[in-house]
Amino acid sequence: MTMGATQENGDDEMDQKVKKYLRGEAANLEGLKDKKLKGQLAVREELYGKSAKAAAKIEKWLLPSEGGYLEAEGIEKTWRIKQESIAREVDILSSRSQYDIVLPELGPYTLDFTSNGRYMAAAGRKGHLAIVDMKTLNLIKEIQVRETVRDVVYLHNELFFAAAQKKYPYIYNRDGTELHCLKEHGAVLRLQFLKNHFLLASINKFGQLHYQDVTMGEMVGNFRTGLGCTDVMQVNPFNGVVALGHSSGTVTMWKPTSAAPLVKMLCHPGPLSSLAFHPNGHLMATSGKEKKIKIWDLRKFEVIQTLPGNAKTLNFSQKGLLAAGTGSFIQILADFSGSQNYSRYMTHSMAKGYQVGKVLFRPYEDVLGIGHSMGWSSILIPGSGEPNFDSWVANPFETSKQRREKEVHSLLDKLPPETIMLDPTKVGTVRAARKKEKPTKEEREAEMEAAVEAAKDTDFKKKTKGRNKPSKRAKKRKEIIDRAKRPLLEQRIEEQEMSRKKRKTNAETEMPKSLQRFVRQKAT
Amino acid sequence: MKVKVISRSTDEFTRERSQDLQRVFRNFDPSLRTQEKAVEYVRALNAAKLDKIFARPFIGAMDGHRDSIKCMAKNPNYLKAIFSGSDDGDIRLWDLASRRTVCRFPGQQGAVQGLTVSTDGSVLVSCGSDCTVRLWNVPDANLADLDSLSDNSAKPLAVYVWKNAFRAVDHQWDGELFATAGAQVDIWNHNRSQPVNTFDWGTDTTISVRFNPGEPNVLATSANDRSITLYDLRMSSPARKVIMRTKTNSIAWNPMEPMNFTAANEDCNCYSYDARKLDEAKCVHKDHVSAVMDIDFSPTGREFVTGSYDRTVRIFQYIGGHSQEVYHTKRMQRVFCVKYSCDGSYVISGSDDTNLRLWKAKASEQLGVVLPREKKKQEYLEAVKNRYKHLPEVKRIVRHRHLPKPIYKAANLRRTMIEAERRKEQRRKAHSAPGSIVTESIRKRRIIKEVE
C-alpha cells in the first residue's frame, strides 16, 4: 500500500501546484439561466483547468535547475554554520560569490541590483558611484560625483540608474554620463523604481513624495505626506504601492493618483527603522527602534508574528527568506513549514567595526549583498533565490539584442498610474453597485414632518416669577421647531448647489473655443 | 551538513555557435509576474487600437457587367473562380486573384435569375426569366489561366425550355439533380430535358431554393406567401412549412451543422432555425435597416455574410444577435447577392451598380504568408482583446464602425420605434390583470404558424 500512499502524496502535490496556476476559484455556473453563456463559460473553465494542469506538469518535469538548500546533520544547527564552512562544500563558481570589498574612506555603501541580478550599482556616501557586472565581477564604470549620495536605484535596465545626491537626484548612463537632473524632487533621502509603471518614486527631506514617469518626464504626482521627514520607503512589488514608515510608528501606503494615503496603520510604538515586502505581496516585515520585528498580513492588516531583534535594514528574498541586519550582525529568518512562522535559519557576523547599512538579496541567485560602512560584501545563503528564471521576465544571460527587444516590449506594456491599487486582481471585475440611494421628495418631506412633530412634542420647563409669558413660550417653541428643521434644509441646499455646480461645469465645457481661456480652471 | 547553492554554468544557458538560436527558458509561476491583469488590459487596449489601424477590408472591384448583378455561384473545386449573372443575360466567370473576366457565357435572353455549379465543378447551370435552363461546360482551370487576357466564349451544353420563368436554381451536393424555383419547385436531371419531379404546395411563386449540404435529399425553399418550406426528395410530398409575417428572400444551410439554416427576411432580420423544430427561431440576427437580400455561410460554419437592400454587407457570428462587421462604400448600391469564398477569408458582393466587390472576411487580417511567430502573436492579441472587450475603453474602440449617415439615422429611427413599441407593451401589461397579456419572445413572434 506504500505505492498507493506515495501516489496520493504525489497527487496532493500536483493539486497544490495546479491550484497555484489556476489563479483563483472557478466561477459558479449554477445560478446562470442563459444557456448560451453557461455553455461558453463552461468551455472556458475547462480550458483554464487544462492549462493549469499543463503548467503544473511543466513545473514538475521540465524546469532546468533546482533550488539551493542547507540541512544540518545531527546536533548541528543551521544558524551556527559559518560562511567559510559553506564555501568549502560548494563549487568554485559559487564560492567566488563570497567576498568583501573594503573601501573605508568613501563612507557607508548602499546597493541596488537590476531585476535579473546581473548588474549591481554601489554608492558610497562620500560620492562614489560604481557599476559592477556580477557575472564576471568586472567593474564597468565608477565615477566620483564629489557630493553626498544618499541612495542609488536602477531604472528599467542596466543602462540607467538614478542617484539621490545632496540637492537633487540625478539620472546617469552606464558610461557615467549625467543624463538628467531632477530638480523638482528636492533633497531626496530614498528612491524607488516601480517597474511596470516606469515611475521613479522619491521621498525628500521635507517629507514630500514625488512620482515621476521616466519615459516622458512627466511628474505624475507630488504629495506632502504631512508626517515629517523619513527615510524608510519601500515599494510593494505585487501591487505597486509605496509604503513609508514614519517616526510616529505609522506606516502609510500611497498611490500616485490620490493625495491621501490608501492605508495608515500604526505598527510600532516608536519610530520605524525599516520595512520590507514579501514578493507575494501579502506579507510585510517592519522593525521599530524598540527592537522588535513584526510580520504583518496585508490582507487583514494584522500582526502574524513578533520577533525580538534590532533591525536597521530588512529584505525579503524571492523564496521568502527574511534578512535583518543591525550593527555588524545579520540574521536570516525562514519559514520552514510554509505557515508563515519565521525562525532563525542562518546568521553572519562581520568584523567588529563594520556597520551594516543595507542588505539586499540578489535576484535568481543564492547570494545576499551587504552594504556597510567599510564597503560592501556578499555572502551565500542557500535556498534564497529562485532557481528557474523566465527569459521573458528577467534573463541573467541577456544579450544586447534581447535587452533592446525587452525594453521595447516593456514600454508597450507600460501600465498607466491608475492601475496601482491595493488589490491588483480587481482590474476587469464588476464594481459593486452603490447601495445608498438619494431620498426622494416624498421621503424628504416625510422626514421633515417627523422631525417637526418630534420637536413639537417637547415639554417646556415651567418658569416662575413672571418669566412664563405666553409670547415668550410661543417664541421658544418656534425656535425649537426651526432648529429641528435646519439640518434637513441645509442638506437640501447643499445638494442643490452641487447640482448647480455640475450643470455649470457642463455648460462651461460647451463654450466656444475662443472663450476657453476665460473658463475658470478647477484647482488640482 | 548538506548544502547546495544555485550555480548556473554559462554553457548550459547560452548558445554555442552564432548560427544557433538563442535559448529561451520559461517559468510559468505567477509569482514572477506582477500585476498580470493590468498588463493584459493594456495589451488588449493596444490590440484594439492596432486592429482599427489595420482594418482595410476592401480589396477591389470587378468591373465588366453592364447591368445589375442578380446572382453568383462559386465553384466548389476551384478557389479562385466565381460566376456572376446579371440582368441583361450576361454570365461571366471571374478570376478573383487578378479580378478579371476569364470566360463569358453568352446566350441567356433576359435576366439571369439563378446560377449554380455542380459539385464536381464541371457543369454550370443557369436559369432565367426567359423560361430556359441552360447547362454550360466550365472551362478547365489550367487553360483558363493561360488565356485570361482574351474574352473566351463558351457554347451551352444543353438548353431546356419549360413552361414558366424561373426565379432560382440550386444543385444537389454530390448528386446529379438540380432544383429550380419558379411557379413550382422542379427537380431536374442533367440529361433529361424535362423535370424529373415537381413539388407544389400553395399557389405562390417560390423565390429561392437551397439543398442541404449534409443530407443531399433535403431542400429548403422560400415563397412569396411568406413561407419557408422543407422538401424531401425521397417522399413525394413536401415535408414541413413555416409561415412568417414577412417574406424570406434567401436561405443558407450551415455547412458544419446541417440541421440548421438561416433565412434572410424582408423585415431586416435573419432568422436561424433548427430544421427539426420549426416552431421557434433559434436565433434572431438584427442589424440591417432594410430588407436582407442574400445570405451565405462561411465554410467554417461559424460566420455568415448578408447583403441587404440598404447598401451594406454585414458579417454575423452564427449565434450572434448583432453583426460583427459592416462593409459599405459610397459606390456600392443595393447589394443583391453575396458569397463567402471557399477558404473563408474573402467575401464577394454583387450589387446594383454592376460591380462585384471583393472584401476581406476579417478586416484587419494580414494577407499572404504569415510567419508562425506573427500568427501566434496575432492569435494572442485576438484572445486578449476578447477577454477584455466588455470593459468600457476597449469596448468603445472595438465596437466603433463608421456608418453612412442615412443608415445611421435609419438605425436610430428603428431603435426609437422598437423602444416605443416595447414601452407601450410594458405599460399595457402593467395596467391590466396580471397574466392577461403574454409577451411572446421575438423568436416566436415572427412566425404565424407551422404546417405539416
Going by pLDDT thresholds of 50, 70 and 90, the confidence category of residue A460 is confident
Question: What pLDDT does A517 receive?
Answer: 78
User: Locate cell 510616529: which residue?
Assistant: A248
CA atoms within 13 A on the CB side of B147: 13
Is it the case that residue A509 has pLDDT exceeding 50? yes
Q: What percent of chain B has pLDDT over 90?
A: 74
Please state, in angstroms and rounded to a whole number, the distance separating the CA atoms of residues A324 and A292.
Answer: 11
Interchain proximity A397–B10, CB inside 8 Å: yes
Using one digit for the tens of pLDDT, what is the confidence trace for A341-351?
899 999 999 98
Is it the case that residue A70 has pLDDT exceeding 70? yes
Would A336 be classed as within a structural domain?
Answer: yes
Decide which of A437 and A252 is more confident: A252
Grid cell of A56 as nine digits: 503544473
Residue A101 near residue A142 (C-beta atoms within 8 A): no
Please state, in angstroms and rounded to a whole number, the distance separating the CA atoms of residues A296 and A304.
Answer: 5
Is it the case that residue A457 has pLDDT exceeding 50? yes
Going by pLDDT thresholds of 50, 70 and 90, the confidence category of residue A115 is very high
What CATH homologous superfamily does B58-364 map to? Answer: YVTN repeat-like/Quinoprotein amine dehydrogenase (2.130.10.10)
Closest CB to B3 among A382, A387, A414? A382
Residue A499 CB neighbours (<10 A)? 10
Grid cell of A171 as nine digits: 539620472
**In this structure, are A47 and A193 located in the same domain?**
no
Q: What is the 3-state secondary structure (H, E, C) of A60-74?
A: HHCCCCCCCEEECCC
**In this structure, are A48 and A92 located in the same domain?**
no
Residue A415 CB neighbours (<10 A)? 21
Residue B138 near residue B117 (C-beta atoms within 8 A): yes
Would A290 be classed as within a structural domain?
Answer: yes
Please state, in angstroms and rounded to a whole number, the distance separating the CA atoms of residues A295 and A307.
Answer: 8
The 3-state DSSP composition of chain B as helix, strand, coil percent (nearest 5) reads 20, 35, 45
Distances (CA, A) of A477 to A451, A474, A481, A490: 14, 5, 6, 20
Residue B235 CB neighbours (<10 A)? 10
* Distance from the B28 Cα atom to the nearest Cα atom in chain A, whole angstroms: 7
**In this structure, are A54 and A139 located in the same domain?**
no
Going by pLDDT thresholds of 50, 70 and 90, the confidence category of residue A524 is very low
Q: What are phi and psi of A148, to 5 degrees?
A: -70, 130
Q: Mean of the pLDDT values across residues A431-449? A: 75
In this structure, the strands spanning B152-153 and B100-105 are parallel
Question: What pLDDT does A449 receive?
Answer: 82
Q: Which residues in B lie closer than 8 A to residue A387 (C-beta atoms)?
A: 6
Q: Which residues in A lie closer than 8 A to residue B38 (C-beta atoms)?
A: 196, 415, 419, 424, 427
Identify the weakest region by mean pLDDT among A134-148, A438-452, A470-484: A438-452
Using one digit for the tens of pLDDT, what is the confidence trace for A281-336?
999 999 999 999 999 999 999 999 999 989 999 999 999 999 999 999 999 999 98
Please state, in angstroms and rounded to a whole number, the distance separating the CA atoms of residues A273 and A313.
Answer: 7
Residue A45 near residue A26 (C-beta atoms within 8 A): yes
Interchain proximity B5–A281, CB inside 8 Å: no
Every domain of chain B and the residues it spans: 35-55+372-400, 58-364, 402-431
Please state, in angstroms and rounded to a whole number, the distance separating the CA atoms of residues B273 and B262.
Answer: 6
Taking each helix axis from N to C end, the angle separating A2-22 and A35-61, rounded to the nearest 10 degrees, works out to: 120
CA dihedral A14, A16, A17, A18 (to 10 degrees): 80
**In this structure, are A279 and A337 located in the same domain?**
yes
User: Locate cell 413660550: which residue?
Assistant: A473
DSSP element (H, E) containing B180: strand B177-181
Q: Which residues in A lie closer than 8 A to residue B41 (C-beta atoms)?
A: 419, 427-428
Question: What pLDDT does A8 receive?
Answer: 72
**In this structure, are A120 and A41 located in the same domain?**
no
**In this structure, are A189 and A318 located in the same domain?**
yes
Q: What's the DSSP call for residue B252?
A: E
User: Locate cell 487544462: which residue?
Assistant: A50
Q: Which of B358, B363, B347 is nearest to B400 (CA)?
A: B363
Interchain proximity A413–B35, CB inside 8 Å: no
Residue A75 near residue A33 (C-beta atoms within 8 A): no
Is it the case that residue A147 has pLDDT exceeding 70? yes
Q: Which of B63, B263, B72, B259 is nearest to B168 (CA)?
A: B72
Is it the case that residue A503 has pLDDT exceeding 90? no
Domain count, chain A: 2
Is it the case that residue B145 has pLDDT exceeding 60? no
Instruction: List the Cα angle A137/A139/A141 in 5-degree steps.
Output: 155
Is it the case that residue A518 has pLDDT exceeding 90? no
Question: What pLDDT does A437 receive?
Answer: 63
Interchain proximity A402–B22, CB inside 8 Å: yes
Sheet of strand A302-308: strand arrangement: A272-277, A283-288, A292-297, A302-308
Grid cell of A236 as nine digits: 510593494
Is it the case that residue A504 has pLDDT exceeding 90? no
Please state, in angstroms and rounded to a whole number, the distance separating the CA atoms of residues B332 and B350.
Answer: 9
C-alpha A184 chain-centroid distance: 23
Give CB contacts under 8 A, 24+ apart, made by A104-108.
A104/A373, A104/A374, A104/A375, A107/A373, A108/A355, A108/A357, A108/A371, A108/A372, A108/A373
Q: Mean of the pLDDT values across residues B198-203? A: 80
* Distance from the B350 Cα atom to the nearest Cα atom in chain A, whole angstroms: 34
Full residue range of the structural domain in which residue A359 is found: 78-421
Mean pLDDT, chain A, rounded, equals 90
Q: In sequence order, what DSSP letters do the residues of A167-211 get, joined into one string?
A: SSEEEEETTS-EEEE-GGG-SEEEEEEETTTTEEEEEETTSEEEE
Distances (CA, A) of B390 to A375, B283, B309, B330: 55, 22, 31, 31
Is it the case that residue B204 has pLDDT exceeding 60? yes
Question: What pLDDT does A14 receive?
Answer: 86
Please state, in angstroms and rounded to a whole number, the distance separating the CA atoms of residues B327 and B340.
Answer: 14
Using one digit for the tens of pLDDT, what is the confidence trace for B323-343?
999 999 999 999 999 999 999
Name the closest residue on chain A to residue B26, using Cα atoms: A390
Going by pLDDT thresholds of 50, 70 and 90, the confidence category of residue A24 is confident
Query: What is the widest separation between alpha-carbon atoms in chain A?
Result: 107
**In this structure, are A126 and A244 located in the same domain?**
yes
**In this structure, are A62 and A83 located in the same domain?**
no
Residues of chain B whose beta carbon is less than 8 angstroms from a beta carbon of chain A are: 1-10, 12-14, 22-35, 37-43, 46, 319, 387-388, 391
**In this structure, are A195 and A285 located in the same domain?**
yes
pTM to 2 decimal places: 0.86
Question: What pLDDT does A352 receive?
Answer: 86
Interchain proximity B1–A365, CB inside 8 Å: no
Mean pLDDT, chain B, rounded, equals 91
Domain of residue A392, CATH code = 2.130.10.10
Would A253 be classed as within a structural domain?
Answer: yes
Interchain proximity B1–A382, CB inside 8 Å: no
Going by pLDDT thresholds of 50, 70 and 90, the confidence category of residue A442 is confident
Please state, in angstroms and rounded to a whole number, the distance separating the CA atoms of residues A305 and A297.
Answer: 9
User: Locate cell 411563386: which residue?
Assistant: B205
Closest CB to A71 among B1, B33, B387? B1
Going by pLDDT thresholds of 50, 70 and 90, the confidence category of residue B149 is very low
Q: Which of B136, B80, B95, B144 is nearest to B112 (CA)?
A: B136
Residue B286 near residue B322 (C-beta atoms within 8 A): yes
Grid cell of A163 as nine digits: 542617484
Residue A233 CB neighbours (<10 A)? 22
Going by pLDDT thresholds of 50, 70 and 90, the confidence category of residue B441 is confident
Closest CB to B4 among A69, A412, A427? A69
Is it the case that residue A521 has pLDDT exceeding 70? no
Grid cell of B352 as nine digits: 446594383
Is it the case that residue A6 has pLDDT exceeding 70? no
Q: Which residues in B lie closer than 8 A to residue A408 (C-beta atoms)?
A: none
Grid cell of A483 as nine digits: 432648529
Going by pLDDT thresholds of 50, 70 and 90, the confidence category of residue B271 is very high
Question: What pLDDT does A513 receive?
Answer: 80
Q: Which residues pair with A53 in a beta bridge?
A: none
Contacts of A40 (CB under 8 A, 6+ apart): none
Using one digit for the tens of pLDDT, what is the confidence trace for A220-261?
999 999 898 998 999 999 999 999 999 999 999 999 999 899
Q: What's the DSSP call for residue B277?
A: B
Q: Which of B82, B51, B79 is nearest to B65 (CA)?
A: B82
Please state, in angstroms and rounded to a whole number, the distance separating the CA atoms of residues B365 and B379.
Answer: 11
**In this structure, are A94 and A59 located in the same domain?**
no
Contacts of A141 (CB under 8 A, 6+ apart): A130, A131, A174, A175, A176
Is it the case that residue A507 has pLDDT exceeding 70? no
Q: Position A504: which residue type?
A: K
Please state, in angstroms and rounded to a whole number, the distance separating the CA atoms of residues A514 and B153.
Answer: 68
Task: Kindly tell me the burial class for residue A197, based on how many C-beta atoms sit within 10 Å of its own C-beta (0-12, 13-18, 19 or more).
Answer: buried
Please state, in angstroms and rounded to a whole number, the distance separating the CA atoms of residues B146 and B150.
Answer: 9
Question: What pLDDT does B300 receive?
Answer: 95
Is it the case that residue A2 has pLDDT exceeding 70? no
Residue B250 near residue B228 (C-beta atoms within 8 A): no
Length, in residues, of chain A: 524
Is it the case that residue A165 has pLDDT exceeding 80? yes
Question: What pLDDT does B394 receive?
Answer: 95
Residue B216 near residue B207 (C-beta atoms within 8 A): no
Interchain proximity A58–B23, CB inside 8 Å: no
Q: Which of A139, A81, A23 is nearest to B31 (CA)?
A: A23
C-alpha Rg value of chain A to the nearest Å? 30
Name the closest residue on chain A to residue B13, using Cα atoms: A397
